[in-house]
């Protein structure tokens, strides 16, 4: 997964929620495009609780899965 592919997912109209699964086995649900910032070598994800966040290098993204709409 690279920056351009994630950017395409985030710009879809209407937005379709998705899950980012990383090589460690962790997974992060993206329910709004405003919770994500694409950086040069990694993606910033604000977690749903509003108090935590994470960075994931593009090289460690193992899969992206669609989620049902909320």
CATH of the domain at 50: 2.30.30.100
Mean pLDDT of 46-61: 94
How far apart are the C-alpha atoms of 18 and 10, rounded to whole Å?
Answer: 9
Q: What percent of the chain has pLDDT over 90?
A: 89
Mean pLDDT of 57-62: 97
Closest by CA position to 54, among listed 70, 64, 39 = 39
Which range of residues forms the domain containing residue 45?
3-66
Query: Quick one: pLDDT at residue 68?
Result: 84
Q: Largest Cα–Cα distance in the chain?
A: 30
pLDDT at 69 over 90: no
User: What's the domain count of the chain?
Assistant: 1
């Amino acid at each position: 997964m690279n920056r351009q592919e994630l950017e395409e997912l985030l710009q879809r109209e209407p937005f379709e929620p998705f899950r980012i699964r990383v090589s460690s086995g962790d997974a992060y649900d993206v329910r709004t495009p405003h919770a994500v910032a694409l950086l040069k070598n990694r993606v910033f994800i604000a977690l749903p609780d509003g108090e935590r966040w994470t960075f994931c290098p593009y090289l460690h993204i193992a899969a992206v899965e669609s989620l049902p709409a909320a």
